[in-house]
C-alpha cells in the first residue's frame, strides 16, 4: 500500500514504512479545540478553488509517498483513520516525481478534508488566519508549531515546495510573535519604573 503524505504527514511519520519518495501532485482534534479550531492544510480540487475566492499560484501539492509493507497495511490504515478522523476521508490519487511526467505511483491513498465536512473552515485573509493559528492549541500541541514545522519541512523537501500562501502565513505569524514579544518586554520594563515613582515613607 502506498500513502501520499502532505501536511504533518511530511514530518510526523508515526507508522512503519518500507520506503519513501519525495513527490508532488498535479483541525479541531489536533491543533485546536471545538470552540477554538486551529488551521491545518487539506487538498482542494483545482476546479473548485474558484468557489472559495482563494488565490493560489501553484497547481501542485508537495509531499512524500510512503510504501507500507503488506503485513502492516491493516494496522497502518486503522492508525491513519484515527489520526485523520476529524473530517478527513480516504481518496486515491496518482502521484508524480519532480523529474518525471508520468506517475511514479498510481492509486495511492490520501486523506482529504473536503469542503463538505463540518470542520472545513475555508479561506480567509492571511492576518486573520495568523491570529487564529496563534491562539489555537489542541491535543497535538500549538497550532503555530504545525505551521512552522510544515514550512520548514517543505523547505527541506524541495526549493520550490513552499508556496506563496504558506510564506505569507509564516511571515504574518512571525511578525505577530515579534510584536507580542516587544509588548511583553515593554510592559516588563515599565513595571519597575511605575513602582519607583511612589513617595518614600
Q: Which of 18, 72, 74, 84 is catalytic?
A: 84
Q: Look-up: residue for cell 497495511?
A: 73
pLDDT confidence of residue 47: 62
**Domains and their CATH numbers in the chain:** 2-193 (3.10.490)
d(CA 144, CA 150): 10
Q: Look-up: residue for cell 500562501?
A: 165
Cell of residue 107, nine digits: 492509486
* Residue 96, CA distances (Å) to 60, 64, 145, 152, 201 in order: 10, 10, 28, 21, 77
d(CA 141, CA 179): 22
pLDDT confidence of residue 30: 40
pLDDT confidence of residue 195: 44
Q: Which residues pair with 103 in a beta bridge?
A: 96
pLDDT confidence of residue 119: 61
pLDDT confidence of residue 32: 41
pLDDT confidence of residue 152: 93
pLDDT confidence of residue 132: 84
pLDDT < 70 positions in the chain: 24-40, 44-59, 114-123, 182-201
State phi, psi for 22 to the nearest 5 degrees.
-70, 125
pLDDT confidence of residue 200: 39
Active site residue 84: yes
Query: What is the DSSP-derived secondary structure letter of residue 199?
Result: P
pLDDT confidence of residue 87: 74
pLDDT confidence of residue 131: 86
The pTM of this model reads 0.73
Amino acid at each position: 500500500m502506498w500513502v501520499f503524505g502532505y501536511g504533518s504527514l511530511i514530518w510526523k511519520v508515526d507508522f512503519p514504512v518500507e520506503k519513501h519518495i519525495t513527490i508532488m501532485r498535479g483541525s479541531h482534534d489536533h491543533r485546536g479545540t471545538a470552540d477554538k479550531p486551529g488551521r491545518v492544510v487539506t487538498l482542494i480540487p483545482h476546479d473548485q478553488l474558484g468557489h472559495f475566492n482563494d488565490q493560489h499560484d501553484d497547481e501542485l501539492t508537495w509531499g512524500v509517498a510512503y510504501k507500507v509493507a503488506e503485513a502492516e497495511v491493516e494496522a497502518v490504515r486503522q492508525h491513519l483513520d484515527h489520526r485523520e478522523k476529524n473530517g478527513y476521508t480516504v481518496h486515491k490519487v496518482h502521484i508524480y516525481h519532480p523529474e518525471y511526467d508520468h506517475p511514479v505511483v498510481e492509486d495511492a491513498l490520501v486523506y482529504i478534508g473536503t469542503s463538505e465536512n463540518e470542520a472545513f473552515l475555508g479561506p480567509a485573509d492571511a492576518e486573520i488566519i495568523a491570529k487564529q493559528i496563534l491562539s489555537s492549541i489542541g491535543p497535538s500541541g500549538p497550532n503555530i508549531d504545525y505551521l512552522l514545522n510544515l514550512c520548514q519541512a517543505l523547505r527541506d523537501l524541495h526549493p520550490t515546495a513552499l508556496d506563496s500562501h504558506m510564506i505569507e502565513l509564516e511571515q504574518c505569524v512571525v511578525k505577530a510573535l515579534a510584536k507580542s514579544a516587544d509588548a511583553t518586554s515593554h510592559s516588563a520594563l515599565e513595571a519597575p519604573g511605575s513602582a519607583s515613582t511612589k513617595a518614600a515613607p
